[in-house]
Structure 1
Amino acid sequence: MKKRTVLITGSTSGIGLAIAKAFAQQGHNLIFNGLEPDGRQIAEAVANEHQIEYVFDPANMLHPKALRTLVRQGEQRWGTIDVLINNAGIQHVAPIADFPEEKWEAIIGINLTAPFHLTKAVWPAMKNQHFGRIINIASAHGLVASEFKSAYVAAKHGLIGLTKTAALEGATCGITANAICPGYVRTPLVDRQIADQAVAHRISESDVIEKVILAKQALKQFVPPESIAALCLFLASDAAATLTGAALPIDGGWSAQ
């Protein structure tokens, strides 16, 4: 794969950082996005380790203007963004009757609306060069549902729908769009869920992992973030030119049940 310019949201921790490191190892230009001040330092460290060109932008996923600026930075520096990876996401767990409305708005905004704005922003340049890769980090919860996660499940189902629509519209202009649907990955987001579930169920965190978190995953182990990163590398490559509109589970067998 020739050198690409890659924008990854939420790329200074968890899954996003693993993806960024994988592309950095291959020498690609990276646009990092995350929270300051740690995010800027993490981006700099990754870029220095692999001697790549990079930009860091702390754009808030809830602010469309900031997202357009994020894209414009990459285009001004390198001419275009070749690969967009919508990874940033948040979660909240509560019954529908008690689900805070502000949490619903934030989850839909960050997990679904932000990918729409970013896809729209990168589209003209991708179309003009007749090449683009849009990779959306959805979830097993984009394919199946679980209790108490109404906003997250709705957002991830919607993200897969957005992916399919982008794939159809991009088919005539060299743009592919695919969604990756991970099961549980051991990230700071999941660590917080484990702690919250332990309190809610009054059980140990190890019991939460075994009896709650991994109960639906046939392999009974967390998905390595490096596996998701490797799949992103493939989807960004020329070898994946005819793979589009797919929702690819990497969930330890969860959605096979």
Structure 2
Amino acid sequence: MKGLEGKRAIVTGGGGGLGTAICKRLAEAGVIVGVFDLNKEAAEKVASEIGGSASAYAVDISDQAAVIAGVQAFENDHGPADILVNNAGWDKVGNFLDTDKDLWEKIVGINLWGPLHMTHAVGQGMAARGGGKIITIASDAARVGSSGEGVYSACKGGMVSFSKTLARELARKNVNVNVVCPGPSDTPILNDFVGEGEMGQKIYEGLKRAIPFKRLGQPEDFGGIVAFLASEEADYITGQVISVSGGLTMAG
């Protein structure tokens, strides 16, 4: 990808499966990566696997003060962030009417407030410098809904709308804002969704049959599109929502 060598990126949820794949893909392209994760050990493990071009930061993205401190620490260590990947996410599956406000607040804190905090902290510097790439990992649940993930879907849908608005606001500052929506993928959230045992296996196999490529997404399937959107190849792309779902969702 053109224009990634020497750039500086922050990836939230960088210690998880999808985040790890994104961090490694960016590092392969020559990007200096800040691995942000609530789990310090997981972030450090990823940074260690990448090597000298990555650093780990323990950050609770639902806490705005922690985000500001984390971004400042990264930029003190490596310089201003050129790329932000809002990847961190969390959910607990359950029918909406069976859930309570405490759960809603946790889901909203991570999936909505978290990327808002990160984007506000990093985006100000990008706008002032006249350039940057913001990429948010949402979900196809934002586009088509997903039973048992009502609040999570609302948060992801909110980030789609927010990103389109921000793309308009920051276009004259040469800051590109785009969204990647994974379809069903082999992640802890999906495993919680399908459950265990025979019924869980039936749901798992049913999902695979519904996907034209006949398999679930793997973390490695998403690093390429993120690297592309972060690169100079995507300088004329902003405000877009791209599904990576093996063809399961083909919404216009």
Flag whether TM exceeds 0.5 (same fold). yes
Contact 1:33/1:39 (CA < 8 Å) preserved in 2? no
Residue matched to 2:113: 113
Contact 2:95/2:147 (CA < 8 Å) preserved in 1? yes
* 7, 18, 25: which one aligns with 2:21: 18
Residue matched to 1:234: 228
Residue matched to 2:218: 224
- Alpha carbons of 1:143 and 1:215: their partners in 2 closer, same or farther (altered >3 Å)? farther
Unaligned runs of 5+ in 2: none
Q: How many pairs were matched up? A: 248
Residue matched to 1:159: 159
Report the secondary structure of 1:22's partner residue.
helix
CA deviations over 1:208-256 (Å, ceiling 9, x no partner): 2112x44653333111322210000000111101100001011122222
Residue matched to 1:254: 248
Contact 2:127/2:175 (CA < 8 Å) preserved in 1? yes
Unaligned runs of 5+ in 1: none
CA deviations over 1:121-160 (Å, ceiling 9, x no partner): 1122111221110000011111111222111110110010
* 200, 205, 208: which one aligns with 1:210: 205
CA–CA separation in structure 2 for the residues paired with 1:41 and 1:62: 20
More deviation, 130-139/55-64:
55-64
Give me the identity figure in percent.
29
CA deviations over 1:189-222 (Å, ceiling 9, x no partner): 323333x2x46xxx344322112x4465333311
Contact 1:24/1:46 (CA < 8 Å) preserved in 2? no
Is 2:239 the partner of 1:245? yes
Report the secondary structure of 1:93's partner residue.
coil
Task: Map 1:51-66 to 2 at 5 A.
Answer: 51-52=52-53, 54-66=54-66
- Alpha carbons of 1:45 and 1:106: their partners in 2 closer, same or farther (altered >3 Å)? same
Report the secondary structure of 1:223's partner residue.
coil
Moved over 4 A (4+): none
CA–CA separation in structure 2 for the residues paired with 1:215 and 1:160: 28
Task: Map 1:1-257 to 2 at 5 A.
Answer: 1=3, 2-48=5-51, 51-52=52-53, 54-194=54-194, 196=195, 198=196, 203-211=198-206, 213-214=207-208, 216-256=210-250
TM-score, normalisation: structure 2: 0.92
- Alpha carbons of 1:37 and 1:23: their partners in 2 closer, same or farther (altered >3 Å)? same
TM-score, normalisation: structure 1: 0.90
Deviation at 1:75, TM superposition (A): 1.9
Provide the aligned C-alpha RMSD in A: 1.7
- Alpha carbons of 1:28 and 1:161: their partners in 2 closer, same or farther (altered >3 Å)? same
CA–CA separation in structure 2 for the residues paired with 1:17 and 1:86: 13
CA–CA separation in structure 2 for the residues paired with 1:74 and 1:247: 28
CA deviations over 1:71-95 (Å, ceiling 9, x no partner): 1112222331100000000112111
Amino acid at match of 1:242: Y
CA–CA separation in structure 1 for the residues paired with 2:140 and 2:43: 30
Deviation at 1:24, TM superposition (A): 1.4
